[in-house]
A and B are shown apart, each in its own frame.
Chain A
Amino acid sequence: ETGVTQTPRHLVMGMTNKKSLKCEQHLGHNAMYWYKQSAKKPLELMFVYNFKEQTENNSVPSRFSPECPNSSHLFLHLHTLQPEDSALYLCASSQDLREDLWPQYFGPGTRLLVL
């Protein structure tokens, strides 16, 4: 248990569906991240939030819509996804954005399959 939980752990959705991934951290951290891990590809950073404000969007398609209502919760809203979006979606949190001081703590991920 890392203190970062993600739900659901597995999700199958059609290309016309709308779904949301949820991440919650119980560590009192201020920064939260979404990553994508496709099969046989390195982790890709998608979004970064610090104190609920988005600080980074790595050219992610608009069919992925993040939401950070408070420092403990992070959502990833999904709509009209493509089969190539099938991947493991990982959430992480850290005390703040100083990577040299604070490590990131990752959740177990949501395994997404788009049909």
Chain B
Amino acid sequence: DAKTTQPNSMESNEEEPVHLPCNHSTISGTDYIHWYRQLPSQGPEYVIHGLTSNVNNRMASLAIAEDRKSSTLILHRATLRDAAVYYCILQGGSEKLVFGKGTKLTVNP
């Protein structure tokens, strides 16, 4: 069973914010929430990760619900270069990352 649920695809417009949702209702207290993205013809790229508190870095923000059963990756100002498949991954303890199908983000000019 998949540990996370993401929409198959989303569209956004250039220079607008994008909110990518992820549901993880079976998350345990020690599971981290990781986000990676994969641009066309490239390997995956780390975006951000967090445990309980919201996180910000130069690429994105991660908003984690208070009950931790869902999270949202926020791209503050989408560019064409942000078009990619975005993966939300739960990882706990010594587990390795398990990639799902992700959300394919299309950015319209």
A residues adjacent to B (C-beta < 8 A): 2, 4, 42-43, 45, 48, 56, 90-92, 97, 99-100, 103-109
Contacts and interface: CB of A to CB of B under 8 A. Distances in A.
A2 B44 CA distance: 10
Interface of B: 32, 34, 36, 41-46, 49, 51, 91, 94-102
Contacts of A42: 98-102
Given A42-B99, A99-B32, A108 B42 contact: yes
Contacts of B41: 108
Given A42-B100, A43-B99, A99-B32, A106 B43 contact: yes
B49 A56 contact: no
Given A42-B99, A42-B100, A56-B96, A103 B49 contact: yes
A92 B96 contact: no
B44 A43 contact: yes
A14 to B, nearest CB: 25
Given A99-B34, A100-B32, A100-B91, A109 B43 contact: yes
A37 to B, nearest CB: 9
A2 B45 contact: yes
Contacts of B46: 103-105
